[in-house]
Amino acid sequence: MKLQAYFTPAEVKATDLTGRVAVVIDVLRATSTMIEALANGARTIFPVATIDEAVRLGQNLDRTATLLCGERKSVRIEGFDLGNSPFEFTDDAVAGKALVMSTTNGTRAVLCAADARRALVASLLNLDAVAQAVAEDGGDVAIICAGREQRFALEDAVCAGLIAERVRRLVAQPVRRNDAAAVAVLLARRYERALLRMLRGTAAGRQLVDAGLGEDLALCADIDRHRIVPELHDREISI
């Protein structure tokens, strides 16, 4: 099995995903929020890149059963129903709803994986479930970190390393990693016993604290909180 990590979507070429399972990570906070929303009964999620796309798509869907969700610079987009804090996506708020979501980094990363044979959504919240899905599939893997504004993000790299290590333990075949995956594993070993402290020290974590959203960090660090594996099909994410 080949397992390659990419620290930003900008590093990914379309041919890198051909025939592979892609795993998309945005720990702070898009993929964590997607997982929380679907675990709490959201029917489906439509990831879009821009605010205008979100508004247009929302207008074409049943507005009574659709929520516009998203953020820019950690803050809820003006006029949207929800932001990007996983605490907002309770069962009361999202059960049975379709979510149209646009975030600064995460939704773009998910869309980047659309050409993969399969595209799975991961964060610290569903590490085991994703690793098992990847191991059971048995195919080559591309782990795509959303990063932060097209730059390296420590929290995503650590999560990638944790997934890579769990996959290695689950499969009988040898796992061949690229250099980025090897570095991600080293970072995971360094931080796996202090995930919340690590999140608080990242640029994204500090931005959330400054925005009054520091409580999100503890939820995003809640390792294996859920057993679900969201998957992208035809630009729509569901379990």
Q: What is the mean pLDDT of the chain?
A: 97
Distance CA 235, CA 47 (A): 7
Side by side, which strands form the sheet with 2-6? Answer: 75-76, 66-72, 98-102, 44-47, 236-238, 231-233, 118-122, 21-25, 141-145, 2-6, 176-177
Amino acid (one-letter) located at 136? E
Confidence of residue 170 (pLDDT cuts 50, 70, 90): very high
Confidence (pLDDT) at 214: 97
Q: Where are the alpha helices (DSSP H) in the chain?
A: 30-39, 51-60, 91-94, 106-112, 127-137, 154-170, 179-191, 195-201, 203-210, 216-220
- For 169-188, what is the mean pLDDT? 97
Q: Which two tokens stand for residue 96?
A: 């049975």
Can you list the domains of the chain with their CATH numbers?
2-238 (3.90.1560.10)
Q: How many C-beta neighbours within 10 Å does residue 150 have?
A: 13
How do strand 44-47 and strand 98-102 relate by DSSP bridges? parallel
Confidence of residue 66 (pLDDT cuts 50, 70, 90): very high
Q: At which residue do the structure tokens 């041919």 appear?
A: 15
Confidence (pLDDT) at 14: 83
Q: What is the pLDDT of residues 105-161, one digit of tens each?
A: 999 999 999 999 999 999 999 999 999 999 999 999 999 999 999 999 999 999 999
- For 221-226, what is the mean pLDDT? 98
Q: What is the DSSP code string of 8-36?
A: SGGG--GGGGTT-EEEEE-TTTHHHHHHH
Percent of the chain residues past pLDDT 90, beyond the cut:
99
